[in-house]
Chain A
């Protein structure tokens, strides 16, 4: 009877098994002293790359005004119906501004459509991922929480200009 040769037959030393065990053990021992991958979270924080889609925020210009012209496109495109915009009139050149701009962070699915659709580069996704609430009211972010100075968002804006 012909002996069927397997794809990989064990050699004599592999059959004895003990040298192989020693090999395996030395590998795990080596790994015990290697640097760890774990991040000690509350003390050490993960800083995402520019392509990360965190909490959507409104861009605040250097003079403290928002870029948003309250066109309502973002609230229109939002698949989760998380954004609510109410426009108001202003004396400034752009004529409109959001009187009320609310994002319900329980509804938001971080798809980034609002950012995609915005003609003014006024709403962008930030790197903020620490979103925890103890009640539903807290989860509705108004303008006070949404406005972020433009220099903090430069990363994301550059990314959008390159790849959008």
Chain B
């Protein structure tokens, strides 16, 4: 493959992934509203189109037509920059997450990931920590005390949980001996998923992922009853929509990360797909479907948890982060190290 072919295939992949992401995000919002309604014995939005299937587009249209209000005392450049950062982080992180194996088409073999880089996990960690800036900037630049409190909480929360997140990933990397997402998926294969080998790390990672994406029970940065809207109190129109999109896109990334790191990525459970002797196209199709099913199930889990659990108090959040999650993720690393020593995994 020469450089031009590489650029063109990458552009096509980016186009597909961004389109799929945007569609998934908009339907995730719809789905969240429906699931929340079902959990509360309601029906949820079911008017626009069949069973409300066009609701997301109606929502976006409404947000586009809204007036964009910026507070007088806001720091305008930063106020505008914050949602841009949020969206940038949300849509670039996905670049390194593999959706399926290598597709052989028209004589090319194309790995189904935008950028197959050898430090993919570090890239994800770096970008998701940039996401803190979006929220902190939004909170600080709005010139409102509620926004500021949301921003402060968010930075404290994200920094605390990033540590346990990083240490849980440490266990995965020890086993895979690589930071490349493909290598991590490959090392898990069909049987030895990290969720079975290191359940402790799985739990700490999932909890940290909830905290990192600001989802309930850790949605202190926006805590509606206490902080009005938290960091996006002073945002309206498409800037607000930007934060909204970014939140749901982050959810997708968190789910995809959990799948890649702990649930065997695109592998079928307990069946080695290479042993079935299927054609390359079929294998890729099954792998993409598998990946989507797993991610979808996790997204449902995210929504499900949101409508089941109450929010943590700020001190409880910090206690959990530093006194429980951090030691547990350390313990997980030791556990993995022992496994490697004993079984030579």
Contact = CB atoms under 8 A, between A and B. Distances in A.
Interface residues of B, number: 15
A32 interface: yes
A50 B40 CA distance: 29
B38 A38 contact: no
B41 A31 contact: yes
B307 interface: yes
22 contacts: A18-B203, A21-B309, A24-B309, A25-B304, A25-B305, A25-B308, A28-B39, A28-B307, A28-B308, A29-B304, A31-B38, A31-B41, A32-B35, A32-B38, A35-B41, A36-B37, A36-B38, A36-B42, A36-B43, A37-B42, A38-B41, A40-B46
A34 B304 CA distance: 15
**Most B C-beta atoms less than 10 A away, residue of A18, A24, A40:** A24
Nearest to B301: A25
Interface of A: 18, 21, 24-25, 27-29, 31-38, 40
Nearest to B307: A28
A33 B308 CA distance: 15
A37 B43 CA distance: 8
A31 B40 contact: yes
B22 to A, nearest CB: 27
Interface in B287-336: 304-305, 307-309
A25 B38 CA distance: 13
Interface of B: 35, 37-43, 46, 203, 304-305, 307-309
A52 B40 CA distance: 27
Contacts of A21: 305, 308-309
Contacts of A24: 308-309
A29 B301 CA distance: 11
Nearest to A24: B308
Nearest to B44: A38
A28 B203 CA distance: 21
A35 B40 CA distance: 10
A21 B38 CA distance: 19
A27 B308 contact: yes
A98 B39 CA distance: 55
